[in-house]
Structure 1
Amino acid sequence: MNLTVTTLLLRAKSALAGFGVLAAFAVIALGVSLAPERAQEQDEAGDLRELALEFLEFEQSRTPQSADTPFTFASFEIDSDPVEGAVLVQRAIDSVGALNLNELDAARNAARERRCLAEAIYYEARSETLAGQMAVAEVVINRSLHRAYPNTICGVVYQGAERSTGCQFTFTCDGSMAVAPYGRGWERAQNVADHALMGFARPVTNRATHYHTTAVDPHWNDTLVRTRRIGSHVFYRFPNRSERRLLAEREA
């Protein structure tokens, strides 16, 4: 009996778990006739599949992978001969482009940043106009670019979320997220997030890093410069040196 097993192998190292990851896809081509010994042939086919996977795992274990190692694509063929036994041949597939793990990590990070921004827009401003939602997105992005805050969108949005009070965005610690985002409001929030992250939005808050609703008058707004009101939100930015002096004189 002659049996050929062709396997496409993708090898990489998981950046999160720190363990080697092996994904193998096998296509079995059986060049056999429908003989009475079919059950025995099926057993032999199973044995050869196991042999192929054991070989791939061995290759993975003896070749350390780093986060910079591209995926490796290869073809493996097993020939079964009554005299010679199983022979495994490896052939590289040069026509398949390599995928860099760093690029995959960047894509995952971008997806997380997009979701965090969309969540802020949805929970903080889903009842606002498009301008009001863009303004909230702008504040989040402005903070991520300011040295006083985390340098990622998710870091900004969820800063202080582990505390019952003191979170920077109320929805992250008041139980609002118990109800998952849904419907047209969620779809719109994601679209606004995409628009803002791609840089298509025209600045509307004059570099604002803070806002609150018109229903409250928090103590911290006395130390900031009001920029404008959009919908039900009032926006503020940090003062420059001369403005800080004026604010201090006003407080005195």
Structure 2
Amino acid sequence: MTASEKDRDILVRTLWGEARGETLAGQIAVAWTIRNRVNDGKLKSWWGEGYASVCQDPYQFSCWNKSDPNFVYLSGVKPIPAGEFANCQRAASAVIDGTAPDPTGGATHYYATTMPKAPAWAAKAKQTLKLGHHIFFKDVP
């Protein structure tokens, strides 16, 4: 699948909102989770169509919720620090361009270890990776 400039920009902003404090490897893992949703093989996917749609689908990535403190940065009201943005661009490009392999084992979900408890959906999914401050999962068939 090809990604438009808008897709790339939205993926970079999502990585900043969700994983800016992670290493490059951690940001790549988050980006792969998004790519796995984009490439789920369904004609009309529940996740959305394309990177921008998947990232901005309501309540999928909390950084895009209007009540989230990251939203003012993602929407352009406040500037994202250039160095942090550049780091997220590297991760996004590596995943979109296919130069970084999927470390998540096909994960389509993750949550931050800073959450007080695991989300309910985690009990029905298979953990595939713990990296940095995120735990990654895929659905059990």
TM-score, structure 1 normalization: 0.48
Aligned to 1:136: 30
**Percent of paired sites with the same residue:** 28
Write the deviation string for residues 88-121 of structure 1: whole angstroms up to 9, x where unpaired.
xxxxxxxxxxxxxxxxxxx9x6100100110111
Match of 1:169 among 55, 61, 68: 61
Q: Distance in 1 between matches of 2:37 and 2:123?
A: 19
- The structure richer in strand per residue is 1
2:137 counterpart letter in structure 1: Y
1:132 counterpart letter in structure 2: G
Following TM superposition, by how much is the alpha carbon of 1:128 offset from its aligned partner in structure 2, in angstroms? 0.2
1:135 counterpart letter in structure 2: A
> Any stretches of 5+ residues in structure 2 without a counterpart?
74-78
Q: Distance in 1 between matches of 2:23 and 2:122?
A: 24
Where do residues 1-252 of structure 1 align in structure 2 (5 Å cutoff)? 110-146=4-40, 147=42, 148-160=46-58, 167-173=59-65, 174-179=68-73, 180-216=79-115, 217-240=118-141
Following TM superposition, by how much is the alpha carbon of 1:145 offset from its aligned partner in structure 2, in angstroms? 1.2
Following TM superposition, by how much is the alpha carbon of 1:182 offset from its aligned partner in structure 2, in angstroms? 2.2
Find the structure with the greater CA-based Rg.
1
Following TM superposition, by how much is the alpha carbon of 1:198 offset from its aligned partner in structure 2, in angstroms? 0.6
Write the deviation string for residues 24-81 of structure 1: whole angstroms up to 9, x where unpaired.
xxxxxxxxxxxxxxxxxxxxxxxxxxxxxxxxxxxxxxxxxxxxxxxxxxxxxxxxxx
Q: Distance in 2 between matches of 1:123 and 1:181?
A: 10
Q: Distance in 1 between matches of 2:139 and 2:51?
A: 19
Give SS of 2:104's match: coil
Q: Distance in 1 between matches of 2:69 and 2:23?
A: 24
TM-score, structure 2 normalization: 0.85
Higher relative contact order (CA 8 A, sep 6+): 2
Following TM superposition, by how much is the alpha carbon of 1:175 offset from its aligned partner in structure 2, in angstroms? 3.6
> Any stretches of 5+ residues in structure 1 without a counterpart?
1-106, 161-166, 241-252
Following TM superposition, by how much is the alpha carbon of 1:122 offset from its aligned partner in structure 2, in angstroms? 0.9
Following TM superposition, by how much is the alpha carbon of 1:188 offset from its aligned partner in structure 2, in angstroms? 1.1
Following TM superposition, by how much is the alpha carbon of 1:215 offset from its aligned partner in structure 2, in angstroms? 2.1
Report the RMSD for the aligned CA atoms in angstroms: 1.5
Give SS of 1:204's match: coil
